[in-house]
Amino acid sequence: MRIAVFASGRGSNFAAIIAAAKRGIFRANLSLLVCDQPKAGVIAKAKRAGVKVVLVRREDFSGKKDFEAQIVKNIQEYKIDLIVMAGFMRMLSHEFVRRYRFKIINIHPSLLPSFKGAHAIKDAFDYGVKVTGVTVHFVDEEMDHGPIILQQAVSISKSDTPASLEARIHKIEHKLYPLGIKLFVEGKLKIRGRKVSIQ
């Protein structure tokens, strides 16, 4: 099985996925990194790991359709079976999602459907909830939506700050995401409607 990771930033989840693959947590080939930011830290991590990097800058294309067409071309060239979103800061079009339905997964730092969006950790902290967490889910046409694969709760204590909460959530992400990938790779995820069962 061949995996493409889509990322735009530092690449902490990418690094965790690479490490998990090396430890044999799942058996798949991390074939491709798709990145839209030429200065993103994840690019250096991919090169050190020997993963092919495809830089696709949105500003190099006349529109989103052409931008995604170039990504699709690379996905086809490398015969990708699973797309792993790891901080890719662009919404995929409905057409792209439909093309790869149930072949795109994402990780989000909250217990979805609560606290969607790019500032989920801060939003949960500011709201004053006692528990937040991490969600691994299939991507659908809506933002931070789609059938849930795995979730893990994270308690928020009185001594927490946004920074300390973020650090603890990232630790959970780095463990939970490889497990979600493992379930997909091993064919253990069954989808019925909006529900995912683990076989």
Residue in 6, 3, 12 with CA at minimum distance from that of residue 169: 12
Q: Are 57 and 40 in contact (CB under 8 A)?
A: no
pLDDT in tens, 95-153: 999 999 999 999 999 999 999 999 999 999 999 999 999 999 999 999 999 999 999 99
pLDDT of residue 194: 82
pLDDT in tens, 181-191: 999 999 999 99
Pick the CATH number of 1-100 from 3.40.50.170, 1.10.10.10, 3.40.50.2300, 2.40.420.20: 3.40.50.170
94 is catalytic: no
Cα 168 from Cα 132, distance rounded (Å): 11
Active-site residue (options: 108, 137, 145, 170): 108
Torsion of Cα atoms, 172 then 48 then 51 then 168, to 10°: 10
Cα 98 from Cα 67, distance rounded (Å): 16
Q: Are 177 and 16 in contact (CB under 8 A)?
A: yes
106-199: same fold as 1-100?
A: yes
pLDDT in tens, 34-85: 999 999 999 999 999 999 999 999 999 999 999 999 999 999 999 999 999 9
> Would the CA dihedral through 139, 22, 1, 73 be positive or negative?
positive
Class of domain 106-199: alpha beta
Q: Are 141 and 175 in contact (CB under 8 A)?
A: no
Q: Are 38 and 73 in contact (CB under 8 A)?
A: no
| In the chain, domain spans | 1-100, 106-199
**Would you state the structure tokens that stand for residue 17, as one six-digit string?**
């996925």
pTM: 0.96
Could you give the C-alpha distances from 111 to 128, 153, 172, in angstroms and in order?
14, 7, 12
**Would you state the structure tokens that stand for residue 61, as one six-digit string?**
């294309």
Cα 127 from Cα 49, distance rounded (Å): 39
Average pLDDT over residues 168-190: 98
**Would you state the structure tokens that stand for residue 168, as one six-digit string?**
């603890």
Torsion of Cα atoms, 103 then 17 then 144 then 161, to 10°: 170
